[in-house]
Amino acid sequence: MFAGGRQRARRGTARFRIAPPVAVAGAVALALAAIGCGAAAEDEGADGRLRVVTSVSPITSLTESVGGDRIRLQGIVPEGADSHTFEPPPSAALALAEADLIVLNGLFLEEPALEMARASKKEGAVILLLGDRTVTRGEWVFDASFPESAGRPNPHLWTSPPLALRYAALIHGELAALDAANAGYYAANYERLRERLEELDRRIASAMATIPPANRKLLTYHDSFPYFAQRYGMEIIAAVQPSDFTEPSARSVAALIEQVRETGVPAVFGSEAFPNAVMERVAEEGGAQFVDGLRDDDLPGEPGGPRHSYTGLMLANMEAMVPALGGSADALAGLDAGSGLQIPSGAAYPQ
């Protein structure tokens, strides 16, 4: 129903506009000129490690899990930024120009970053579009946020752990191809990650099975969970944010309230990414519980923390979602969230 892009409110981060092609090209030219003028005189990659640039933090986390300390990694989309409309600052072109591997979600999620990457990448560098190689066009999901008429599918594949595992396999394949000397190291890291994500998938399935069938419905702040819903037998009722990135109108909010009443959805799930007053009103007037704290690409905790990882993100979501829908999250207790992402995404690039 009412859904769409996100407007981040946390950490004081404003929504980013999409730059026109001429502006991106000009920013790239200026940034690359700075390299020739000595701005990148100090080569931080002189240790021989692959330079890898990623976009959103779940992808950065998966890449770090596979690449470990044999790669020099930088995520260019800051946590708390809106990945749908994020415009990389000109300084990000420096990282993209030096990268051996650029890992993006694809499926039209990070178009300004992709345009900048194509304009600035060095000869031989690889751009890996994970979503484009994970699902076929026949598997694309369209919804209110991403209507079929626009030709752009919902890009949030990583909220389904099996699809996140396919991402990891693609990342592993590219790292091994670019750095054959460390292929065994990447393979061992990938196997550990594979085991963890397969266990995560099994445990989420067990937890979701405890939710009464009538309660297996989701009304969220943003259309981030269609692939998750497909995997675990959930019905997406609606998302609150309009597809045009504006605040929902009073008429839209009233319709959502009525929808909550009619469907009997037990909980409405908000996020720090969306103004909670709207979500709280929809929940309160619709007779549902308001649950804050779902997240789609913002890892929990701080860099280096025990849950600042892709697995930690999914665990946090399940611990918020399952009990609110009448189920038990006991199946998730004690699950290893893996090492927390060590680098603060986007920190090297002024916003």
198 with 224, same domain: the answer is no
Helices vs. strands in the chain: H and E counts, helices first: 11, 8
Which secondary-structure segment (H or E) carries 61? helix 57-67
pLDDT at 20 over 70: no
* Confidence at residue 90, expressed as pLDDT on a 0 to 100 scale: 86
pLDDT at 61 over 60: yes
* Confidence at residue 350, expressed as pLDDT on a 0 to 100 scale: 39
**Considering the domain boundaries, does residue 101 fall inside one?**
yes
Mean pLDDT computed over 279-306: 92
* Confidence at residue 28, expressed as pLDDT on a 0 to 100 scale: 54
**What are the two backbone dihedrals, phi and then psi, of residue 101, each rounded to the nearest 5 degrees?**
-140, 130
In 3D space, the residue among 259, 71, 256 whose CA is nearest the CA of residue 178 turns out to be 71
Q: How far apart are CA 262 and CA 256, in angstroms?
A: 10
Question: Could you tell me the pLDDT band of residue 4, with boundaries at 50, 70 and 90?
Answer: very low
pLDDT at 89 over 90: no
Strands 289-291 vs 101-104: parallel, antiparallel or unpaired: unpaired
Q: How far apart are the first and last CA of the chain?
A: 33
From the number of C-beta atoms within 10 Å of its C-beta (0-12, 13-18, 19+), residue 33 rates as exposed
pLDDT tens digits, residue range 319-351?
999 999 999 999 999 999 988 887 766 644 433
* Confidence at residue 47, expressed as pLDDT on a 0 to 100 scale: 84
21 with 164, same domain: the answer is yes
**Considering the domain boundaries, does residue 340 fall inside one?**
no
Mean predicted lDDT score pLDDT of the chain: 86
pLDDT at 74 over 70: yes
**Considering the domain boundaries, does residue 349 fall inside one?**
no
pLDDT tens digits, residue range 108-167?
999 999 999 999 999 999 999 999 999 999 999 999 889 899 999 999 999 999 999 999
pLDDT tens digits, residue range 221-271?
888 999 999 999 999 998 887 666 567 788 889 999 999 999 999 999 988
pLDDT at 214 over 70: yes
pLDDT at 21 over 70: no
Reported in sequence order, the residue ranges of 69-191 that DSSP labels E, i.e. its strands, are 71-75, 101-104, 126-129
Residue 42 or 317, more confident: 317
179 with 260, same domain: the answer is no
Helix 310-324 and helix 57-67, axial crossing angle in degrees, nearest 10:
130
218 with 178, same domain: the answer is no
189 with 46, same domain: the answer is yes
190 with 268, same domain: the answer is no
Spatial CB neighbours of 61, under 8 Å, sequence gap ≥ 6? 299, 308, 309, 310, 313, 341
192 with 215, same domain: the answer is no
195 with 326, same domain: the answer is no
- Domain housing 194: 15-137+151-202
Q: How far apart are CA 113 and CA 178, in angstroms?
A: 22
47 with 187, same domain: the answer is yes
171 with 222, same domain: the answer is no
Domain tally for the chain? 2
* Confidence at residue 252, expressed as pLDDT on a 0 to 100 scale: 87
315 with 282, same domain: the answer is yes
Retrieve residue 43's tokens. Answer: 């080569």
pLDDT at 14 over 70: no
Reported in sequence order, the residue ranges of the chain that DSSP labels E, i.e. its strands, are 50-54, 71-75, 101-104, 126-129, 217-220, 235-239, 267-269, 289-291
Mean pLDDT computed over 37-48: 54
